[in-house]
Amino acid sequence: MRLSRFFLPTLKEDPKEAQIVSHRLMLRAGMIQQSSAGIYSWLPLGFRVLKNIERIVREEQDRAGALEILMPTIQPADLWRESGRYDDYGKEMLRITDRHERDMLYGPTNEEQVTDIFRSNVKSYKNLPLNLYHIQWKFRDEVRPRFGIMRGREFLMKDAYSFDLDYEGAKTAYNNMFVAYLKTFSRLGLNAIPLRAETGPIGGDLSHEFIVLADTGESEVFYHKDLLAQKTPDRDNYTAEELQEIVDQWTSFYAAADDMHVPEKCDVSDADLVTRRGIEVGHIFHFGEKYSNAMGATVAGPEGKDVTVSMGSYGIGVSRLVGGIIEASHDDDGIIWPESVAPFKVGLINLKSGDGACDAACDDFYGKLLDAGVDVLYDDTAGRAGEKFAKMDLIGLPWQATIGPRGVKSGVVEVKSRSSGKKQELSVDAALDLLVGKS
């Protein structure tokens, strides 16, 4: 993509309304624009990151055997009356009346909706286990939306729902998602810690939240230093026993958020206890029969009797992760994207746009990168060199390749790694090898 044809409205000054670094950098990098309080438009750069995160989340759900569906944003209130949550939910639920005076709502989550799909279609234990997920916009009418897309009102979430014949089956489904989450966050370049959590309004008796470590995180977490030394699972098709072993291993280390951590009761030595800040990016729940019972989701069991299915739900904050990754990966100059989610892999800087030789060398290098399938943002604009470097640092592409008049003469491209800051002067071919990923 040529920058001259892209839409990248960056800001040189820090916007006043942004209190946290991810909000500030997303506004400065032209990733989002506020539409109203807690509601944002995603501009091209931000949209590309959002899509990359969504893709990785989807791939790991698919690998885990979950099936993708798409439930609507607007739900009928009657479904929520069946579970009793229509009254429980309070003012965070955006309530809507349609033209025929029917009570509707903008879904804040989908337990009722998916249970309705299940009970309408699945009649036999033979169709179990089943895990249905979707990636859809949700709405929670926060009283004080803040921190940009980190605590917005309209947000993109992946939510999966598992259905099993009994508690043990649902436990395996839960463990399966636990392991999928470890893989997902690892691919996103994040250190994520699973914490035993309260189940809150979702209900149930087993729950973990996944916290991404970031110095600027919203809450404090305490954990045993060996926790993050665990190997991330990397295989598919683990057996139920293997899943349980992985979960047991990851949960054998102490880990607690500030609201659960009681220093007197924590038996980890001071030398082993790490205190960091973190951001919640995922939450999984085993809630058994809470919704299937209230809504009559049963199947014919192996002995012919009706069995109420055992359920769990599994959320990942897809749009929130954009902010979470920035909180975890930035410096004073801007964002540092992990390669897996970067909006482009390479930023190509033409140091003297308008100079014939320089333009020709850059155009040629750009074409070669495109031919090799590399996503490139090519700054072909007339800006000053200093501005171009600052903009590339701000938007945080993993690699910067710079070609100027001096380099054209000597056949040299300067390649910089955004994360390490390391610069190398390379021949065109060596630079291509590095950026295409052959070397």
DSSP-derived secondary structure for 94-144: EEEE-TT--EEEE-S--HHHHHHHHHHH--BGGG-SEEEEEEEEEE---SS
Q: Least distance in Å: CB of 229 to its own copies?
A: 35
The distance of closest approach from Cβ of residue 141 to its own copies in the complex, given in angstroms and rounded to an integer, is 5
Q: CB-wise, 138 or 183, nearer to its own copies?
A: 138
For residues 332 and 394, what is the distance between their CA atoms, to the nearest angstrom? 9
Taking the least distance from each CB to its own copies, the nearer of 74 and 357 is: 74
Nearer to its own copies among residue 207 and residue 313 (C-beta): 313
Q: Which is nearer to its own copies, 102 or 423 (CB)?
A: 102
Residues near its own copies, by CB under 8 A: 5-7, 9, 30, 33, 35-36, 39-44, 47, 50, 65, 67-76, 91-92, 94, 96, 98-99, 102, 104, 106, 113, 116-117, 120-122, 127, 130, 132, 137, 139, 141, 143, 153-154
- Interior angle at CA 319, CA 317 and CA 324, nearest 5: 75
Amino acid (1-letter code) at residue 131: N
Which residues in 309-422 belong to E strands, given as ranges? Answer: 310-317, 330-331, 334-335, 346-350, 376-379, 399-403, 412-417
In the complex, least distance from residue 419 CB atom to its own copies, rounded to whole angstroms? 27
State the nearest-atom distance from the C-beta of 2 to its own copies, in Å: 10
**Minimum CB distance to its own copies, residue 201 (Å):** 17
DSSP letters along 344-375, please? -SEEEEETTTT-HHHHHHHHHHHHHHHHTT--
- Cβ proximity to its own copies, 58 vs 277, nearer residue: 58
DSSP string, 175-233: HHHHHHHHHHHHHTT--EEEEE---GGG--SEEEEEEEE-TT-SEEEEEETTGGGSPPP
CB of 362 vs its own copies, minimal distance in Å: 19
Of 80 and 250, nearer to its own copies (C-beta) is 80
